[in-house]
Structure 1
Amino acid sequence: MSSKTDSPTKAKGLVEFSSSSSRALAVTDRIHTEGGALVHDQCRSEIDFMVQYQGFWFAVHTDQKENGVTMRVHGIIGHLPYSYQSSFLRTNIFAVVHAASREIKGKIRVDDQQRILLIDEVFFKGQLTPKLIVSETAKVLLRLKPYLELVKALQPLTSTPFMAPDIESVASQEEMTKAPTPVPAPAVMPEPVSETEPAPTPQPVAHPVKAKAKIKIASAKPKIKMSLKPKLKMNLKPKK
């Protein structure tokens, strides 16, 4: 904790820095005290954030360069239906998205899940101040407004197409997707054999032999005796 005597010096340096018109304070800048003086450093040159507009989520990536700032806007602005679902709807949605791409001079991509990805890149001079970030992002989104309304009219949103990532949920998903660390099996070491004592000789183990089952063959049944009746004797009378 700094002493109370340093507070007026730091406050004076902060006032002088804020009133200086030489350079605006950027979002990536870091202000700290060193030796009783106010020091201005750049801690990083990139900023990523999410913004929702017209029910769609857009990811914005900004990169600070020496001569200006490059800003890339990525958004999922609808799902392209398959031809067997509705060829008419597929043609109309693609026409609207293609017109939006020409308006902002961006690119269109359709992924394997038939999601329509709109990618735009903007370059502007200056530092990454909050004012410039908000204004440049708003310019891109306002030019997309009529096209986003047409896409929603053709294909109403049943749910949010893209949810902003949550830091805690992303961290938990990374922990769940990590492969478990393999645990090596414990090594079984043989017991040391003393030089004075001879090694034990394995003895044969007698296994009890089960008695064989006796098989009895049943005697054949006696043949059936058939008695034949004697032939009938016929007495023929002699002819007269």
Structure 2
Amino acid sequence: MVFKATPGVYAPQDDTWLLTEALLQENITADTSVLDVGTGSGALALAAAERGAAQVTAVDVSPLAVGATWLRACLRGLRVRVRHGDLLTPVADRTFDLIVANPPYVPVAGRRGHGVAWRGRGVAWRGGTDGRALIDRICADAPPLLRPGGVLLLVHSALCGAERTVEQLTRTGLRAAVADRRIVPFGPVLREQAPWLEARGLIAPGERKEELVVIRAERQA
């Protein structure tokens, strides 16, 4: 799947493709309802629709991302419901068989709350001082929206603590584990943040690779 970059919209990167691989390993059928949280370019939502999911819903806080995803779905002749809003808020009254999420998770310095930039370019990647400002919200809000047998797939950097994510999801009653890992070179955002990450002891001096993890959490049928 080829995507041209849309100005102001998070372009698919290694985390997107790693999560796409995990999505395509799930049993997606003509009865499957899929939610893509923080859809960005729409890559995951479109992959689910192309796989034959019965219903695909994509949500993003960025109006530009909403428009880009809607347009790409139309051009490909795919049925994707696109909603504008904050994480799972627009779909809090619905349930799904599969939820996929690639939230902002880059640890950054900041003064507001966890340091999340709620506006501007940084909204696509800033995850607060520990990278977990949005991850923690998804861990709390996504499980109630899973149908029996439903699955949550969540990708983020190991810098944010994969074990913590697994523990949080397990406490909600899901069966959670790291499903995939991949070490990749720093992208431009992490390279920019590297001096601050080194100063906080989150990475070793000169370290310029990160481990991405996909967490898979399933509600018992």
TM-score normalized with structure 2 length: 0.23
Which one has the bigger helix percentage? Answer: 2
Asked which structure has the greater CA Rg, the reply is 1
TM-score normalized with structure 1 length: 0.21
Higher relative CO (CA 8 A, sep ≥ 6), structure 1 or 2? 2
